[in-house]
Structure 1
Amino acid sequence: MPKFDKTAPRPQMSKDTFKVLGRVIKFMFRDYKIHFFIVVVCIIVQAIATLVGMTYMKTLIDDYISPMLKAKTAAEEAGKAYIADYSGLAASLGKLAALYVVGLICSYAYNRIMVNVGQGTLRNFRNELFDNMESLPIKYFDTHAHGDIMSVYTNDVDTLRQFIGQSIPQLINSTVSFVSTLTAMIVLNIPLTLLSIFMAFVMMITTKNISMKSGKYFGAQQKDLGEVNGFIEEMLDGQKVVKVFCHEEKAKEDFGKLNDRLRDSAFNANKFANILMPINANIGNLSYVLSALVGAFMLIKGWGGVELGTIATFLSLNKSFTMPITQISQQMTFVIMASAGAGRVMDLLDQTPEKDEGYVEFVNAKFDSNGDLKECAERTGTWAWKHPHKEDGTVTYTQMKGEIVFDGVDFGYNDDKIVLHDVKLFAKPGQKIAFVGSTGAGKTTITNLINRFYDIQDGKIRYDGINISKIKKPALRKTLGIVLQDTHLFTGTVMDNIRYGNLDATDEECIAAARLANASGFIEKLEHGYDTVLKGDGGNLSQGQRQLLAIARAAVGDPPVLILDEATSSIDTRTEKLVQTGMDALMHGRTTFVIAHRLSTVKNSDCIMVLEQGRIIERGTHDELLEKKGKYFQLYTGSFAEN
């Protein structure tokens, strides 16, 4: 089976930043169009309120303060008392205050809405990621580090939080402010506006150049972060092996290399990103100083009818004009990080789901008074294949018996490397078929083909005479009970873990399955019995107890076909007898495929298949194969010699 290669070249970001982020925005719009429209309206109102407040300085100076000063001076020169009238100013300030209040409300509203939009969009992303992940073929998980996939859910999705919640509204706000401020500046004074535009152009060129340098490193940073997480998860899962083989120093050395690479990529990414805002801020300050000098010169010379209020207002607008560019440059760091994270999120979302072109279904059935097989809703212990025929629209039912046939099957995990060659086998209903052979001979691969975890390159696999490619994969897998060497238990009660084999099973059916599997004895001795909560993959249970739960989980589904993949290879002899008794009860009346290294567990098989390098080289019963004195004889006698 192919494995994840840590030495493979790391892929670089190949998708266009705007294209990737455009998909994120489109995804957000899908559920939050109205919310986003309200946000844009609030931003525009808030920007207008801010602009009016800045331009009010000209009104205050030119329409109120200057006239009052002139009137006071004239009164004093005439020897008259001057009584100022502040009613107009008070009314004007009242209107300005009301406008500021509206702007404040709009600012609070759009920030509050974007929190909801941001968190809701992240939730939807995680849901879509998980839904798509559940539809992916087993091959994807065999060839990708699980920690790297986890990093997509955590680190990469989190990069979108800042982008959606802050960067998007900030970019819209900055754009609206930039356009409205530019318009006001043009109205006030064109020469000063041209000077400000030139300095803004310098800022944009600077932002572009620095962002391009940091952008390529943010993609590497997210990739390196995924690899670090993958390595940590691998070490956690294999910590016992690390301790047993005294591999601590080597593990620390390997982690140090990955961590250093992450440090380097993160340093390079943030090195450029962190200098962007200070540079732009200083360019903005330079623009402010130049505008003040040029404006003062024009005022002194009397050019262009420039007044003091105009200069004061323009300088305020100049700050607001360069500020959006500074704010945009500040957000560029988060935009680039979001682009890198979004690229990895979209890569996972774009993975091709497992193909299923089957149309034959698995249903409960019963025989009517005429002896014909009919579909029914209740569980009767009789199953049928529901086979619709497109040609005439009819539906036929074939009783499920558990007959499996391999006819000249060739298979390879890659098309250029075939690992199974011309496999032919026949399993009659209720038979026990065993696969033996050296490691890598292809035993587990055959069972993976029965499940259609992988599709074959050539030949046919038939289930009750039906090509399994015509059977819907969920229907096919419902008929198969699997007990693996490595048992995985989920966080939850013992009852929940047994019911995993059939979510519709009642408590009584789960208890009956546990008794059939010989698991009820130890379960009832647990502190809370079937309600005992298991955590950490059942770490508080022995390997044998975990295997008994796995057998009970397979039993509660009452499957017609069983696959036992070295289910007793990692437990002691005493526990093996208990587990074997449970498996014998489970196998009764079912077609069973058994993979075992301990050949003593397959002696009673109806047929034993000996595999070598992907080929069946011997087949027969235990006694027949011993008489041949071939490969099986060597394996069997050798196993006893070792014991």
Structure 2
Amino acid sequence: MEEMDHNEKINFSFWKNFLIYAKPYKKYFLFLALVMIGVAIIDAIFPLMNKKAIDSFIVNKTTVGLNSFAIKYGILVLIQAINVWFFIAIAGKIEVKMAYSIRKIGFEKLQVLPLSYYDNKAVGWLMARMTSDINRLSETISWGLVDFVWGITMMLSITVVMFSLNMKLALITLSVIPPLAIISVYFQEKILMAYRKVRKINSRITGAFNEDISGAKTTKTLVREEKNLSEFTELTSEMKDSSIRAVCISSLYLPIVLLLGSIGTALALNFGGKAVILKAISYGTLVAFINYTIQFFEPVRELAAIFAELQSAQASAERVFSLINEDLEIEDTIEVINQYGDFFNPKIENWPEIKGEVEFKNISFSYKDDEKILEDFNLHVSPGETIALVGETGSGKSTIVNLLCRFYEPNSGKILIDSVDYRKRPQVWLHENLGYVLQSPHLFSGTIMDNIRYGNLEASELDIIRASKLVNAHDFIIKLENGYDTEVGEGGSLLSTGQKQLISFARAVLRDPKIFVLDEATSSIDTETEKIIQDTIQKVLKGRTSFIIAHRLSTISNADKILVIKKGKIIESGNHSELLSKKGYYYRLYTNQFIEEKSNIVIDG
């Protein structure tokens, strides 16, 4: 996928908005700034101390007052050591806390974004934002503040001292500042563009890693190893070339700053040396000026580095906040949130109980503007009724249940639950009363017990066993070596598809949902497991409003109503017997499937 391009220059209004996220840590930032001001001022005092030592002790060849001078110098060194300890500790805290805070906000946003957001976002694309981009951002902000405050304070302090010592020599020495400013403006755009390209390629690499790892089995069965390696090599080569280009641009900038700094030092030596010979200034003043020219351009170099890092960090920040500030296509109104709460602060005590009546009224929907999936779709489902949806791929079956679950919202029309538009209720209210079993159920790393409890974190072990027995999963679980404490592996890889399906049933049942959705839950399992799940379905759906998307029609023969969907329209409706007697689309579909299954049995036999 292609990501949007951002501003080509440093956007200061963008960084101003970023301060909202830094607000909880303003005390840390303020304290760090004060510490760095102290560090800079003491750094600026040291050359003055050296001037005094030269003019008072070396030039005059005396040691009178040397002890008190040494004590003062030692106190300054001690204070500076304490300051350094403070700024390292505080900057480290800011870095960790900022990363934690932004990552938490980003993760919360991922929880509430609708499914449509994930339709065109690769996992690696999202991971890059939540990991490397956030790390880069927090690191630049915390340590960048250290160098920025120190650098600005240091340059201001040195400028004041230099002008107080000798105005003419100060003007000559600092004459290199204007060309330095011009060069900085030129390089900032080049550096930002280079680093933005590096971050974009990094996202693509992370996505490629994720796809290659998750699709390892497919790679091997299609013998794609060499082709995958070639494609990945091409991508990493592009990353290498772009990174080298970015580093080269940055590395050109810093030597130019160093060169100008050296010119400033040379000017101080030339004109300052002549002034010493003419006795216009003291030898100690010349040494102080030389020290100051060196010191002055050290923070300039640091600020130049911050400048480059800030540009790189802006590329990361733009990507992170494009996620955090993503508009929600599905969002509860303020009135609904105030009354019923949201995903993170639900007001369960105000939630009305769901009875299970569902009605689609004049629903139209399209995933894209030019691809109408449903148009003027109407359906009424009574509480506790089981509705089966059949039809060819792309007919709109999954769209109907996705709209019901409010994973998407209709472009026009209303969906009513218990005679109330479901947009007048919070999303979390519906999802808490929803049981959903997918064709390919997803299990999380951990034990069987953990995965079932995921449906209700407050469930007891007895509740979990009861739910497992209800869906006929208990028998196979206790036969495993570690029973309910058996590890399922990543994505449930250590279990069969049928076992994963039964566990997902138990997880859904544990929620005690009022509305149940089965999305081709038996299409990927063997015949024996299908019979177990058919029995499970009959028990689980009893008394619940349910929608079944069916591939195997034998699983829906007991449905209260079967809807045949074609191009978003209901072309046939009735129970199993009624539809067979009509000898229409459903009859042909069922007959062909029945003959196919019988043929397979004969072949297998």
- SS in structure 2 at match of 1:534: coil
- SS in structure 2 at match of 1:356: coil
Counterpart residue type for residue 19 of structure 1: S
**Cα distance in 2 between the residues matched to 1:201 and 1:320:** 18
**Cα distance in 1 between the residues matched to 2:340 and 2:593:** 41
Aligned to 1:333: 308
- Counterpart among 304, 312, 318 of residue 287 in structure 2: 312
Change (3 A) 1:24 1:203: same
Aligned to 2:33: 40
Aligned to 1:520: 474
Q: Is residue 254 of structure 1 aligned with residue 231 of structure 2?
A: yes
**Cα distance in 2 between the residues matched to 1:296 and 1:362:** 79
Aligned to 1:534: 488
- Counterpart among 47, 61, 76 of residue 54 in structure 2: 61
Q: Is residue 183 of structure 1 aligned with residue 160 of structure 2?
A: yes
> Is contact 2:356–2:514 with CA below 8 Å preserved after alignment?
yes
Counterpart residue type for residue 208 of structure 1: V
- SS in structure 2 at match of 1:419: strand
Aligned to 2:12: 18
- Counterpart among 110, 115, 127 of residue 92 in structure 2: 115
**Cα distance in 1 between the residues matched to 2:455 and 2:27:** 43
Q: Is residue 240 of structure 1 aligned with residue 229 of structure 2?
A: no
> Is contact 1:298–1:306 with CA below 8 Å preserved after alignment?
yes
**Cα distance in 1 between the residues matched to 2:273 and 2:485:** 83
**Cα distance in 2 between the residues matched to 1:411 and 1:629:** 30
**Cα distance in 1 between the residues matched to 2:188 and 2:254:** 11
Q: Is residue 429 of structure 1 aligned with residue 383 of structure 2?
A: yes
Aligned to 1:292: 269
Aligned to 2:110: 133
**Cα distance in 1 between the residues matched to 2:298 and 2:3:** 42
Q: Is residue 443 of structure 1 aligned with residue 437 of structure 2?
A: no
- SS in structure 2 at match of 1:67: coil
- Counterpart among 570, 584, 596 of residue 630 in structure 1: 584
Aligned to 2:437: 483
- SS in structure 2 at match of 1:355: coil
Change (3 A) 1:468 1:38: closer
> Is contact 1:17–1:336 with CA below 8 Å preserved after alignment?
no
Deviation at 1:362, TM superposition (A): 9.3
Aligned to 1:355: 331
Give per-residue Cα distances to partners, 1:87-140, cap 9 Å, x unaligned: 412211211111121112112111211111111111111111111221212211
Q: Is residue 91 of structure 1 aligned with residue 78 of structure 2?
A: no
Gaps of 5+ in 2: 342-346, 598-605
Give per-residue Cα distances to partners, 1:189-222, cap 9 Å, x unaligned: 2222112222133333323322221111211211
Give per-residue Cα distances to partners, 1:535-585, cap 9 Å, x unaligned: 312211111110000000111111122100001111111111122222221
Change (3 A) 1:482 1:17: same
Q: Is residue 572 of structure 1 aligned with residue 572 of structure 2?
A: no
> RMSD of aligned C-alpha atoms?
2.3
- SS in structure 1 at match of 2:490: coil
Change (3 A) 1:515 1:229: same
Q: With the length of structure 2 as denominator, give the TM-score of the two structures.
A: 0.92
**Cα distance in 2 between the residues matched to 1:135 and 1:111:** 37
Deviation at 1:376, TM superposition (A): 11
Deviation at 1:55, TM superposition (A): 1.4
Deviation at 1:314, TM superposition (A): 0.6
- Counterpart among 288, 309, 319 of residue 344 in structure 1: 319
Aligned to 1:31: 24
| Structure of higher CA gyration radius | 1
Q: Is residue 453 of structure 1 aligned with residue 397 of structure 2?
A: no
**Cα distance in 2 between the residues matched to 1:330 and 1:408:** 60
**Cα distance in 1 between the residues matched to 2:372 and 2:274:** 84
Q: Is residue 321 of structure 1 aligned with residue 296 of structure 2?
A: yes
> Is contact 1:411–1:419 with CA below 8 Å preserved after alignment?
yes
- SS in structure 2 at match of 1:181: helix
Correspondence 1:393-432 to 2 at 5 A: 400-432=354-386
Change (3 A) 1:118 1:426: same
Deviation at 1:166, TM superposition (A): 1.6
Aligned to 2:344: none
Change (3 A) 1:9 1:87: closer
Deviation at 1:503, TM superposition (A): 2.3
**Cα distance in 2 between the residues matched to 1:600 and 1:249:** 44
Aligned to 1:589: 543
Change (3 A) 1:509 1:244: same
Counterpart residue type for residue 319 of structure 2: R
Q: Is residue 494 of structure 1 aligned with residue 448 of structure 2?
A: yes
- SS in structure 1 at match of 2:406: coil
**Cα distance in 2 between the residues matched to 1:37 and 1:565:** 55
Counterpart residue type for residue 180 of structure 1: S
> Is contact 1:407–1:461 with CA below 8 Å preserved after alignment?
yes
Gaps of 5+ in 1: 1-5, 69-83, 364-374, 378-383, 387-398
Q: Is residue 619 of structure 1 aligned with residue 596 of structure 2?
A: no
The number of equivalent residue pairs is 589
Counterpart residue type for residue 21 of structure 2: F
Q: Is residue 199 of structure 1 aligned with residue 193 of structure 2?
A: no
Counterpart residue type for residue 42 of structure 2: A
